[in-house]
Homo-oligomer: A and B are copies of this chain.
């Protein structure tokens, strides 16, 4: 016998359990900006901006795009035409600070190589703008702290773009776990990785700060934290470079790590730049198991599992860019209602500190 949809809803407490959930997990989908859109300046026109974030702003309720920052004027003009951005609101990295004089910008979305996150977040704050910054928030713990401090001093919001905190299937996973339906959680497995092409900025430590851990392993690390609701007490890790083909001169190829949480939950994770890993997690409780596979994609996130002998109905996330939309909407809400984002700078800082411990445990330099 399987659960009917209604029984599952009851079980997982779609409605009734929301009051039991930690507030930062309870109502991501219910929020809306109430029509008070904000005005976005997009900093960096890479794939994540053009293919995911900008279409999501267009579809969502967070507001609209009023300015662009890019090193490629041609590319920027094409995007400006699509989104109705005036030509005089296209900035380069040289005249970035002029955004301060543009009253048609409330917030920036920063999607640059990791090493530029801190500088442009801090400059945005000094220009009087709120900042939504991609993960990892920086390439060092010190820079992360400086970003938090700069936004605080300027009285501006800082949010780190942890998509999965705004993605319905991940939210449902957390809801099921917090409801107690899986019983006491004992152990988690997670992975995320891909086989990186030569020449990507991600394998240049100066730009990325590190290898797959910083880029995709961070999803597994962050997931273990939001799934358990705990901070890891102990971390132990190994890293390696197997392929001596020139790609891994200054970043790691593989990292494997285990963590122990205060309640006793243990987690085992892998990340790589040398092989494909779909990005999954599996949560084992005394009464049941829940798996998201894939767990971290832009679309197609897929939940399976079982409670006792009964299957959890398959749940698949809405197509892209739903989660980017929810994320942008949330930040607009926080600005409009003067609320702390669910994934503030401090959330990013915690991952930076933990990744630094992982690197140190693996015998690599700290992210200090």
**Given contacts A191-B187, A274-B186, A289-B276, A241 and B264 within 8 Å (CB-CB):** yes
Give the residue of B191, B234, B254, B267 whose beta carbon is less than 8 angstroms from that of A264.
B254
Complex Cα–Cα for A257 and B184 (A): 20
Cβ of A236 within 8 Å of any chain B Cβ, yes or no, is yes
Cβ of A302 within 8 Å of any chain B Cβ, yes or no, is no
Chain B hits for A277, CB < 8 A: 187, 284, 289
**Complex: chain B residue closest to A183, CB-CB:** B275
Complex Cα–Cα for A23 and B285 (A): 41
Are B264 and A237 in touch, CB under 8 angstroms? Answer: no
Are B191 and A243 in touch, CB under 8 angstroms? Answer: no
Chain B hits for A236, CB < 8 A: 236-238, 258, 361
Cβ of A164 within 8 Å of any chain B Cβ, yes or no, is no
**Given contacts A243-B286, A277-B284, A254 and B193 within 8 Å (CB-CB):** no
Cβ of A16 within 8 Å of any chain B Cβ, yes or no, is no
Cβ of A189 within 8 Å of any chain B Cβ, yes or no, is yes
Q: Describe A's contact surface by its main secondary structure.
A: strand
Give the residue of B241, B268, B272 whose beta carbon is less than 8 angstroms from that of A269.
B268
Cβ of A263 within 8 Å of any chain B Cβ, yes or no, is yes
Cβ of A364 within 8 Å of any chain B Cβ, yes or no, is no
A68-108 contacts to B (CB < 8 Å): none
Chain B hits for A253, CB < 8 A: 186, 264
Cβ of A9 within 8 Å of any chain B Cβ, yes or no, is no
Cβ of A147 within 8 Å of any chain B Cβ, yes or no, is no
Are B256 and A256 in touch, CB under 8 angstroms? Answer: no
Chain B hits for A260, CB < 8 A: 238, 240, 256
Are A272 and B284 in touch, CB under 8 angstroms? Answer: yes
Are B272 and A187 in touch, CB under 8 angstroms? Answer: yes
A238-275 contacts to B (CB < 8 Å): 238-243, 253-260, 263-270, 272, 274-275
Cβ of A368 within 8 Å of any chain B Cβ, yes or no, is no
Complex Cα–Cα for A263 and B285 (A): 34
Complex Cα–Cα for A14 and B259 (A): 40
Are A184 and B243 in touch, CB under 8 angstroms? Answer: yes
Cβ of A27 within 8 Å of any chain B Cβ, yes or no, is no
Cβ of A195 within 8 Å of any chain B Cβ, yes or no, is yes
Are B256 and A187 in touch, CB under 8 angstroms? Answer: yes
**Given contacts A195-B286, A256-B260, A274-B186, A268 and B266 within 8 Å (CB-CB):** no
Given contacts A187-B270, A272-B284, 13 further A-B contacts (CB under 8 A): A184-B242, A186-B193, A186-B275, A189-B191, A195-B286, A236-B237, A236-B361, A239-B266, A242-B265, A254-B266, A255-B266, A268-B268, A274-B286
Sample (15) of A-B pairs whose CB atoms are under 8 Å apart: A184-B274, A186-B193, A186-B253, A186-B272, A186-B274, A187-B254, A187-B272, A189-B191, A234-B238, A240-B260, A242-B264, A257-B258, A270-B284, A275-B286, A276-B289
